[in-house]
Every structure is written in C-alpha cells, then in structure tokens.
Structure 1
Amino acid sequence: MNHNKLITQKARENLKPLGFVQSGKSRIWYKDNGWWSVVVEFQPSSHTRGTYVNVSVSHFFYESAGWAFHIPNRLPGFANAEDDSDFEHKVDKITIEAATLASHLLEKYKSVEEFISWYSRDERRSIWDDYYCGLFKALSGNLDEAKCYFQNICDSKYDRTWEDAVQRRAGEFVFLLSNPDAFKSSLQGIVSRTRNLMYLNDYKEGEIVLPWAS
C-alpha cells in the first residue's frame, strides 16, 4: 500500500472517532472547537519516506492562512516506510498514541487558565507570549493585567515588519480594553477572519462563543 494512503487509513481509524477531520488531502488532521483546535500532523522527512507525528494546540487569535502550532508536542520516533518491515504496525501505534495525547489536550485546554500558564512560563519571552497572554488574561476577566501585557509590546522595540504589525494590534487592544464590548467584538472578528482564511466554515456567524469569564 502507498505509505500516504496507509497513514490516512490509520488516522481515519484512530482520530476520526474523536471528531478529527482531514485538512483537504494533507497529512494534517484537526478537531475544530470554534476558536481553537487540536492538530495532529503526520510530518514527512526530507530524507526518506515515512512520518513523524506532531500533536499541537492551535487557536485563532491572529489572522493566518495556515495552521500555527502554538503549543507543540512531538511524539518520539519516526516510522520509516522504506526500512521498517513493520511500518503498518508502527503507524498504527503512533497514531493511537497521537489520539491518546489529543484526547488529553482537548480536555486540558478547555480551561483558559491552562493557556495563561503556557504563555507565562519561565522561558525566553517573545512578542507572541505577551500578545497571547494578554488575550487570555482578558478572556479570564483580568483586563488590567491584559492591558499591561499589550502595553509592554507597545513600549518595546522590534526589528521585523511582522512584529510592527503585532505591535499596532497590541496598541488597538490597549485602547479597546476600556470598552469591553468593543474588545469582545474585535476579538470575535479576528477569529472569524482567521477561520475564513483557513477555509474552516463549519461554524456559522455568531455560533462561536469565546470563553469569556462570567
């Protein structure tokens, strides 16, 4: 059997029952939760036929036409389609492991606090850590803390053009946070635009409910 067809078959057997769907004809499968997804990527090697497997959490709070792996996890090992006589067994095993991890992530990241914990971890911080931590702080109801993260972006110096765009967005959020309804509307629009760019059209306008603190 063609190794790509085998990977698709095993993904269908082990991921589809969890609600995952294939992204076109690619090696990416995702579970769509409206404003976020868990993504399983069967990543090819540039040297030989086969697959690594990445299981990641992705959310839709900055416009992009492709999947962004915000919270990445790579399963150990590589299933080699050329050298492994038990390639089918290895793909089956690693896909079951991916399904197990995906189930764990789907449950864990129902909580906004888990996203905050990830983006405030004690590692080298980037503009994205401040941007997303600010957004999740806002979702949790901590608007003053959210504003501090966005203001930090505004007060920093960056070298890349795309960082300037993020900085301008952060400045807009600093202004909008004084009007929570306007901020919520802006964030809802970002999610909708991102989903449209990615051709994720299973949800209708107004059906996606962001996890605002009550």
Structure 2
Amino acid sequence: MQKGRSRTWLDDQGWWVGVIEFQPSAWSRGSYLNVGACWLWEEKDFLSFDAGYRVAPFQPFTNTAEFTSAAQALAEQAAAEVLALRDRFPSPEQVRALMSRHPRPGIREHMHAGITAGLAGAYDEGRRHLALAAEESHAAPWVDVLKQRCAELTPLLHPGGGFEAEIAAIVTRTRCAVGLPEWRSSLLIAPG
C-alpha cells in the first residue's frame, strides 16, 4: 500500500513492514530505489531500514518515455526485493540469525538480537545482547532511549516474565505510531 501520497510503499507483515522508497534527489529529477525491512518491536514513530536499503542507483529523468520505462523497471525490482524479504524473514528467528552474523553490531543490532533471542526462548542470549546494547557510549538522545528500553526489557527475559507480551505491545504501539492498521497475531513468537 502507498503511504499517503508519498513515494513510499509499505508491505505489511505484522511484526515488520517492508519499506519501498522511490527516493528523489535534491539535485536532479529522477529516483533511487531503497527497499528494506523495518522491525516494529523497536518503539518509534518513523519507518527505518533495519535490513536492506539502496538496491538501485539513481535513474535520472530525461524524458517521459524513457523514464516511464526506467520507473517500470524500478517497480519490478521493488516487487522482487519485497518478495525476497518475505522469504528471508518469515519469523523473528531469521532476524536472530541475521543479527548473529552482523560484522559490526551496534546498539540497534544488539537490541534486535536480544529481542529475537528472547522471542525464541533463549533468555540468556537475550540478556547478553541487551547488556551489550546498554554499554553503548555514544552521547545522543536516541541512544539513551534505546538503552532505557533495553533496561526495561531485561528483567522480563525469563519463562513467564511477560517478555513476549511486552514485545507484542510494543509492536502494537509502533504500528499505531507509523499509521499501520491494528494487527493481532501469535506469529511473533519464533519457533524454538
């Protein structure tokens, strides 16, 4: 679905959303193509590219006929990229695998790894990643917000601790904040 009248399209998967952005340039008429997955268990009021981003270079507008062809090719590539994301991330367990292979994890990668480990019932692994996220020393307000969120989630990481329910509540709040419809599903829990 198109996000309002923007050049951004969304592929709603419940606990994540595919973001397709036909990004304009500030210097020239035309479009880049960015496609990625936005994890909705990070409470926020904006869309992000948590996995993926630029998939096609700038396609300049030269004339209507030529750009129509280029735009069609971008749209076809966007569709293929979205289908690949769906195949790549059918459950949080696949996100967990992605985060475990990240070459230089930062606070967001550790937070996502901690959340997906917790959803898989790997509570010790989840606590370890959330603790690593809390060690981030970068001085920025958004870092403090993520560190606080990790601190709030850590005590919930044990059987019956309410972790899964809290993550589902965060997904619900984030969906509302970014303008997605209500979603109810138990598919957030990763298979063990």
Query: Under a length normalisation based on structure 2, what TM-score does the superposition of the two structures give?
Result: 0.90
Cα gap change, 1:77/1:56 in structure 2, threshold over 3 Å: closer, same or farther? same
RMSD of aligned C-alpha atoms? 2.0
Cα gap change, 1:177/1:196 in structure 2, threshold over 3 Å: closer, same or farther? same
- Does the aligned pair in 1 maintain the 2:92–2:188 contact within 8 Å? no
Alignment match of 1:123 (pick from 85, 96, 103): 103
Alignment match of 1:36 (pick from 16, 23, 31): 16
Q: CA deviation at 1:148?
A: 0.8
Cα gap change, 1:158/1:180 in structure 2, threshold over 3 Å: closer, same or farther? farther
Matched, 1:88 2:68: yes
Separation in 2, partners of 1:39, 1:150: 26
Separation in 1, partners of 2:26, 2:159: 49
Matched, 1:151 2:131: yes
* 2:79 alignment partner in structure 1: 99
Matched, 1:184 2:164: yes
Q: CA deviation at 1:83?
A: 5.7
Q: CA deviation at 1:43?
A: 0.4
Give the partner amino acid of 1:68: S
Cα gap change, 1:26/1:125 in structure 2, threshold over 3 Å: closer, same or farther? same
Alignment match of 2:29 (pick from 49, 59, 72): 49
Considering only CA atoms, is the larger Rg found in Structure 1 or Structure 2?
A: 1
Aligned length: 192
Query: Under a length normalisation based on structure 1, what TM-score does the superposition of the two structures give?
Result: 0.81
* 1:25 alignment partner in structure 2: 5
- Does the aligned pair in 2 maintain the 1:154–1:171 contact within 8 Å? yes
- Does the aligned pair in 2 maintain the 1:35–1:208 contact within 8 Å? no
Q: CA deviation at 1:173?
A: 1.5
Unpaired segments ≥5 residues, structure 1: 1-20
Unpaired segments ≥5 residues, structure 2: none
Separation in 1, partners of 2:158, 2:174: 24
Report sequence identity in percent: 28
* 2:191 alignment partner in structure 1: 213
Cα gap change, 1:143/1:56 in structure 2, threshold over 3 Å: closer, same or farther? same
